[in-house]
């Protein structure tokens, strides 16, 4: 059972109720001067890309879900944005060009559950940044994954969608089983998804970023000017490759 296949059909409807992409983009753009090349790793359906890409010369999209990537390309194409898209794991990216900005939003790093995967992605991002380039990503915090999701179950209902969300946690990995019923006319289509997210500590990831060579590493309470506390649910990281 793959992640983000059937879910791509309803992803935007669900996520827009909880995520303020305009605030995310405003935060990121306030950190980095415009221009240069932009890379969105694990771009999903392109909701952050379409808000940031207009300020950069060329945009590259990466996502492991072909369905999500297709939707992202369609959105950016509709705005006339020059885009290249690759259906590859974000930790395996290999491009000749460098980027002035690399982003990976909405806890994509938590999906790097195998040992060394997150470090491999950070190293690839560092290698693909130009001098003075900025790397921005976020994670679901240890507090959120262990205390809020953990072994808890949730139910969501609306006129068009009903789903159950069953979680279990073992050895620092949260398994999420999502069972969707999506309205199609007078009938409902069933979609099942299985997701896994790894629990990372803030200090653990800061240490990896430092060892790779990133500088001026800071963490934030989501995409705000506040720094995280013990009950922060989304931690945003900003890290620079040797500023000019």
Q: Which fold has domain 6-140+201-241?
A: Rossmann fold (3.40.50)
Question: In this structure, are residues 148 and 233 in contact, taking their beta carbons and an 8 Å threshold?
Answer: yes
pTM, to two decimals? 0.92
Segments of the chain with pLDDT less than 50: 1, 4
Separation in Å, CA 76 to CA 35, 51, 79, 139, 164: 17, 9, 5, 25, 32
CATH architecture observed for domain 144-197: Single Sheet (2.20)
Arithmetic mean of pLDDT over the chain: 92
Distance CA 70, CA 42 (A): 12
The predicted pLDDT at position 192 comes to 86
Identical fold, 6-140+201-241 and 144-197: no
| Region at 60 (left for phi over 0; alpha for psi -120 to 50; beta for the rest) | beta
C-alpha to C-alpha distances, 71 to 49, 97, 110, 180, nearest whole angstrom: 12, 24, 22, 20
Length of the chain: 244
Q: What is the pLDDT of residue 8?
A: 56
Domain ranges (residues) in the chain: 6-140+201-241, 144-197
């Amino acid at each position: 059972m793959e992640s983000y296949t059937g879910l791509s059909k309803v992803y935007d409807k669900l996520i827009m109720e909880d995520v303020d992409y305009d605030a995310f983009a405003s935060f990121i753009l306030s950190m980095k001067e415009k221009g240069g090349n932009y890379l969105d790793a694990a771009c999903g359906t392109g909701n952050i890309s379409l808000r940031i890409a207009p300020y950069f010369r060329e945009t590259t999209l990466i996502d492991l879900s072909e369905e999500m990537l297709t939707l992202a390309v369609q959105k950016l194409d509709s705005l006339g944005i020059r885009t290249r898209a690759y259906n590859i794991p974000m930790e395996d990216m290999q491009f000749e060009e460098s980027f002035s900005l690399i982003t990976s939003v909405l806890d994509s790093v938590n999906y790097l559950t195998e040992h060394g995967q997150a470090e491999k992605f950070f190293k690839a991002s560092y290698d693909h940044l130009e001098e003075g380039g900025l790397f921005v990503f976020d994670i679901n915090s240890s507090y959120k994954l262990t205390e809020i999701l953990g072994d808890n179950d949730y139910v969501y209902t609306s006129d068009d969608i009903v789903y159950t969300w069953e979680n279990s946690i073992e050895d620092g990995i949260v398994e999420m089983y999502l069972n969707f019923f999506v309205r199609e006319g007078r009938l409902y289509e069933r979609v099942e998804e299985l997701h896994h997210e790894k629990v990372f500590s803030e200090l653990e990831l800061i240490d990896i970023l430092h060892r790779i060579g990133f500088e001026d590493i800071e963490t934030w309470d989501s995409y705000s000017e506040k720094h995280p506390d013990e009950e922060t649910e989304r931690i945003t990281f900003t890290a620079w490759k040797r500023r000019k």
